[in-house]
Amino acid sequence: MNSFSIRENKTLKEKYYYTTLDCGLRITVIPKDLPNSFAFVCCNFGGADIEYEHNGKRYELPAGTAHFLEHKMFECADGSDAFLEFERFGGNANAYTSFENTCYYFGCTDNFYENLDVLLRAVSEIHITDDSVAKERKIIEREIKMYEDLPSSIVNRNLSRALYHAHPTIYPISGTVETIANITKSTLEQAFAHFYAPTNLSLCVCGNINPEEIKAYAEKYFAKDSSSRPTTLFPDEPMKVAQSEISTSSVVASPLYSIGIKCPAFKNHDRDSFRKATAMRLAISLTFGRASDFYCQNYEKGLLNERFYAGYTNSRQSAHIVISGSGNEYKQVFDLVKFELEHRKKVFFSEEQLLREKKAAYAESITLFDSGEDLTSVAVSNAFYDFDEFDCIDILRDVTFDEVKDALCSIDLNNVALSIIKSNERKGIMQ
């Protein structure tokens, strides 16, 4: 008997119900009184899943397989499209793939259970043909080319290639035209069989919804499953960067740059790693945020502009700081960034500055609960971890001054790389 447990946060006036079915499917139900209801299904299979082990056997997939499969999952048994089914019931459906996972979802104002039926059927079956795979390959090639025409996407992709030697993050999530050429009907069927088992899926719904009814619907589509979850295999990744600089040219107004600093990766995505990541994020926003000395002084000198960004990203067995922007003075900014980090290791911020930064981060965290769609998309992937959205706010509050300082001091400036997109001489349009 799988009854629902309840988690509640009285300060935020929020709660949710959660359970795991016998088949292994995780379910989260978030009550929310807004006109739109949402349902997300998350498969723990993303761009980083290239080599993996399943039932004692090793497998390798072409880069872009998870994303390709995402494109094909809304294809129905009769060759029709689940989008049309959603439309019939007024569901607004979509899907996306990240390095970590693939999510399918819909939002609706009416006919929630009819739409849920369409969604659960779509993710629990696969119906593809050689022809439909070949046709989809052409569409995905267009999508890849579209991103290749976006310099802001290229500068960050190149940064990953500079920072990492072999980690799958060096490949775009959608793969490349070359890798997707190797994805066939059987590749997709194998990936579906291994990764789309209920033990590797989670379902999260948000709205005026009865949790017991959700359970009944889910049980219709997912039978008991004894297969183990595939284990993703990551190649050994040295701490040293693969290349210290990578440069290309494109149609840009002025050079785009992305500075990366490789950080130790966390083995697991758990509460402890989230706490460390929170400390690092606070350290980065104190140092390079909009109210920082660094940003304000260099903005006034004309070295930075509104496009400047600083953040920290940690994914599966990869972690790095990204500092990006645009302008001809990228070499100078690169040196200033390194200088500022060394300086802040010696002269750290005050308790008062950290409190202000935490206040700002708190406001940002609680507004997640303002959007049913955003909240559901975060909660559906958090279902795989040992912390939730409430913990994130508590961790933010509890992180200490010393933890934030330690995070900053741990940054190793020997592991820095610079990605640049220079302005093409023949930039602009030709008539």
Partner 1 sequence: MKIVSKTLNEGVFLSSFKTDKFKSSLMTVSFALPLDVETASGYSLLTNLLSLSTADFPDMQTFSIIKDELYALGLDAYVQRRSEILLVTLEINTIADSFAFNGEKVLFRACELLGSAIFNPFLQNGVFPEKNVESEKKCLIEEIASAIENKPSFALKRARQILCEGEPFAVDAGGEIERVAELNGKELADFHRYIINNAPVYITYAGEAEQEYLEECIREHLHFEPRNYVLPKPTVHKKRDSILRVQESMEMEQSILILGFSLEMPKNARDRAILSVYDEIFGGSASSKLFMNVREKEGLCYYCSSYPSGRKNVLFVSCGLEPGFEEKATDAIYREVNAMKDGDFSENELENAKNSIIRSVRSIESSLGSLNGYMLGQALLDDSVSVEENLELVKSVTKDDVIALAKTVEPELEYILNAEDAE
Residues 285-344 interacting with partner 1 (rule: CB under 8 A): 290-291, 293, 296-297, 299-300, 302, 305-307, 326-327
Q: How far is the CB of 249 from partner 1 (least distance, A)?
A: 8
Query: Is residue 181 at the binding interface for partner 1, with CB under 8 A as the rule?
Result: no
- Identify the CA nearest to 187 among candidates 118, 124, 136, 224: 136
Minimum CB distance to partner 1 smaller for 47 or for 230: 47
Minimum CB distance to partner 1 smaller for 149 or for 386: 149
Contact yes or no for 61/50 (Cβ under 8 A): yes
Binding to partner 1 (CB under 8 A): which residues in 187-226?
none
Q: Which of 76, 170, 233, 366 binds partner 1 (CB under 8 A)?
A: 366
Minimum CB distance to partner 1 smaller for 58 or for 145: 145
CA dihedral 183, 187, 192, 195 (to 10 degrees): -90
- Matching residue, tokens 């067995």: 317
Minimum CB distance to partner 1 smaller for 56 or for 302: 302
Q: In sequence order, which residues have a C-beta less than 8 Å from that of residue 143 and are 6 or more positions away?
A: 174
Query: Is residue 369 at the binding interface for partner 1, with CB under 8 A as the rule?
Result: yes
Minimum CB distance to partner 1 smaller for 46 or for 151: 151
Binding to partner 1 (CB under 8 A): which residues in 136-155?
136, 138-143, 145-146, 148-152
Query: Any long-range contacts for 426-429 (C-beta under 8 Å, 24+ apart)?
Result: 427/251, 427/252, 427/253, 428/251
Q: How far is the CB of 297 from partner 1 (least distance, A)?
A: 8
Sheet holding 14-20, edge to edge: 5-9, 14-20, 26-31, 201-207, 37-43, 102-108, 92-97
Minimum CB distance to partner 1 smaller for 58 or for 359: 359
Q: Which of 364, 386, 398, 402 binds partner 1 (CB under 8 A)?
A: 364
CA distance readout (Å), 142 to 15, 136, 146, 166: 42, 10, 6, 26
Binding to partner 1 (CB under 8 A): which residues in 85-104?
86-88, 90, 92-94
Count of residues binding partner 1 (CB under 8 A)?
A: 74
Minimum CB distance to partner 1 smaller for 193 or for 355: 355
**Interface segment toward partner 1; rule CB under 8 A; list 133-141, 221-229, 343-351, 398-406:** 133-141
What gap in Å lies between CA 67 and CA 276, rounded to an integer? 30
**Interface segment toward partner 1; rule CB under 8 A; list 29-37, 158-166, 179-187, 398-406:** 29-37
- Three-class SS of residue 262? strand
- β pairing state of 37-43 and 51-54: unpaired
- CB environment 105-144: b (16+ within 10 A), e (fewer): bbbbeebbbebbbbbbebbbebebeeeebeebbeebbeeb
Binding to partner 1 (CB under 8 A): which residues in 376-405?
none
- β pairing state of 51-54 and 5-9: unpaired
Binding to partner 1 (CB under 8 A): which residues in 408-427?
424, 426-427
Query: Is residue 251 at the binding interface for partner 1, with CB under 8 A as the rule?
Result: yes
Looking from the CA of 261 toward its CB, the CA atoms found within 13 Å total 20
- Matching residue, tokens 């290349």: 243
Q: How far is the CB of 126 from partner 1 (least distance, A)?
A: 18
Minimum CB distance to partner 1 smaller for 186 or for 367: 367
Minimum CB distance to partner 1 smaller for 105 or for 195: 105
Binding to partner 1 (CB under 8 A): which residues in 266-285?
none
The string of DSSP codes covering 279-325 is HHHHHHHHHHSTTSHHHHHHHHTTS--TT-EEEEEEETTEEEEEEEE
Q: How far is the CB of 187 from partner 1 (least distance, A)?
A: 19
Q: How far is the CB of 411 from partner 1 (least distance, A)?
A: 23
Query: Is residue 35 at the binding interface for partner 1, with CB under 8 A as the rule?
Result: yes
Query: Is residue 10 at the binding interface for partner 1, with CB under 8 A as the rule?
Result: no
